[in-house]
Chains A and B, each alone.
Chain A
Amino acid sequence: MPDALAEPPAFPMPRAAACPFDPPPGLRLLNDGEPVSRVRLWDGSTAWLVTRHADVRTVLTDPRVSAEVSWPGFPHTNAVSKARDTRMTTLMQMDAPEHITHRRRMAADFTVKSAEALRPRIQRIVDDHIDAMIDGPDPVDLVAALALPVPSLVICEVLGVPYADRSFFQRVAGELVMDGGDPARAMAASEELNAYLGDLVAAKDAEPGDDVLSRMAVEQYRTGAMTRREIATAGQLLLVAGHDTTANMIALGTAALLAHPEQLDVLRGGADPAVVAGAVEELLRYLSVTHTEARRVARADLVVGGRHIGKGDGIIAVKSTANRDPAAFPDPDTLDVHRAARHHVSFGFGAHQCLGQSLARVELQAVFGTLFRRIPTLAAAVPLADLVFKHNAVFYGVRELPVTWERTDGGGR
């Protein structure tokens, strides 16, 4: 038992350089000894860290636990995200019943069937980019060649961005997610994108298509339920939530498979769709790319894992340790693509569980079902120890992933 008077440890904690795919060792020690404990944040405030799988699911479904950032005790990641979150409220920062009303306005486009209907177009986007890799320079950076463009073009499909505007959209999306970059430039990109999406809502209102902005233009804008700017903000949320997350899963997932060749063998040369789907769930579990974790605040007193959390206290539900909790996943540190891993919490849990999860699954299944089938000799072009991991980014991943392959590869689509 740690000393009750001792200074709480700082959060976030560093990962071990030798284990870039594992959660920080400090977090794992907490999970073993003190699964609900206090940590100190960047601004000197404290929050409760909840690390076990069962406790993470409990707090994220407890109606006394709020996602509203207006509480003084809300545990913000840093000054920039505090400023942004308190300025621009999206459904991510809302509680019931308001949250579910807003979520359902977009949910029609994110059902399992809607994502399945997009599968042929998503497969086409993936194939086109793998074609370009095969025809292009070797080695190539997989982040720029595949991981970033695929999710951005899929969001274009969902939003209904016309083909003519897609290079503009991809540029702005890139500036928006560029971490370590200039916050002023990201802010300018955000404004540019909001203006663009606002105009697009007007165009969809005039001539609706089969996409989320058209449906919101007809159902919300025409009825006066939402302004064009509000719809543009909702559209931007889809980009912020769905672009870099999926991109990091593609690149980091590829890096993890290259580091575990016996697991990659399962996918090499093509695998059954059910096997690919299982491998995607295991990669989601193993990697936990949303490593700033789920942040909440207690709107009333509650007890979690035997600890008393007071009204107004910040709570951080740690998905990365929950996904490595031996009580939920036997031998949790082993990457095993045949594991039954669907109960991971990489998409969160509770009413805020990822709205885009079915779409993300189809994207990741298309990528991991195609990449090693069409390029079975794919290999890292630099030692894995030389890769630069994005320790301080909002979403964890690898900055660049130079890959190479034997020129005889590049078989049929």
Chain B
Amino acid sequence: MRVRVDQDACAGSGQCVMSAPAVFDQRETDGVVTLLDDGPDPRLHGGVRTAARLCPARAIALSAR
């Protein structure tokens, strides 16, 4: 799984950090998403998919590789 985030679109909701804290973080200055791991371990895929589904700004894109 390959994860990409669109920082321009991000609304800083934190839904991704709640869903997969090992993969997503928020910048301390303005709450914008940062990616900790763009090719997460399969163990984390469930949380990453939840994050992509819940992201209110549709700023998280997943691809096979």
Contact = CB atoms under 8 A, between A and B. Distances in A.
B57 A357 contact: no
A111 B56 contact: no
Contacts of B11: 100, 103, 350-353
Contacts of A115: 14
Nearest to B10: A100
B56 A351 contact: yes
Interface in B13-45: 13-15, 17-18, 21, 26, 28-32
B5 interface: no
Contacts of A353: 11, 13, 56-57
**Interface extent on B, as a size class?**
20 to 34
A110 B57 contact: no
Interface string A327-365: 000000000000000110001111111110110000000
Interface residues of A, number: 26
Contacts of A195: none
Contacts of B21: 112
Contacts of B12: 103-104, 107, 110-111, 355
A241 B36 CA distance: 32
A108 interface: yes
A111 B31 contact: yes
B57 A107 contact: no
A61 interface: yes
Contacts of A354: 13
B58 interface: yes
A260 interface: no
A104 B30 contact: yes
Contacts of B17: 111-113
B54 A343 contact: yes
Given A100-B11, A104-B31, A112 B56 contact: no
A105 B29 CA distance: 9
A112 B54 contact: no
Contact of B56 (A100, A104, A350): A350
A353 B11 CA distance: 8
A61 B56 contact: yes
B35 to A, nearest CB: 15
A98 to B, nearest CB: 14
Nearest to A352: B11
Given A342-B54, A348-B56, A104 B14 contact: no
A108 B57 contact: no
Interface string A80-109: 000000000000000000001001110110
Contacts of B9: 351
B63 to A, nearest CB: 20
B53 interface: yes
Given A104-B32, A111-B31, A357 B13 contact: yes
Contacts of A108: 28-31
A351 B13 CA distance: 9
A328 B13 CA distance: 21
A104 B13 CA distance: 11
A178 B45 CA distance: 46
B26 A113 contact: yes
Nearest to B29: A108
Given A112-B17, A112-B18, A353-B11, 13 more contacts: A61-B57, A103-B11, A107-B30, A110-B14, A111-B26, A111-B31, A113-B17, A342-B54, A343-B53, A350-B11, A353-B57, A357-B14, A358-B14
17 contacts: A60-B56, A104-B31, A105-B30, A107-B31, A108-B28, A108-B31, A111-B12, A111-B17, A111-B26, A113-B28, A343-B53, A343-B54, A347-B13, A350-B11, A351-B57, A353-B56, A358-B18
4 A-B pairs with least C-beta separation: A107-B31, A353-B56, A104-B30, A112-B14
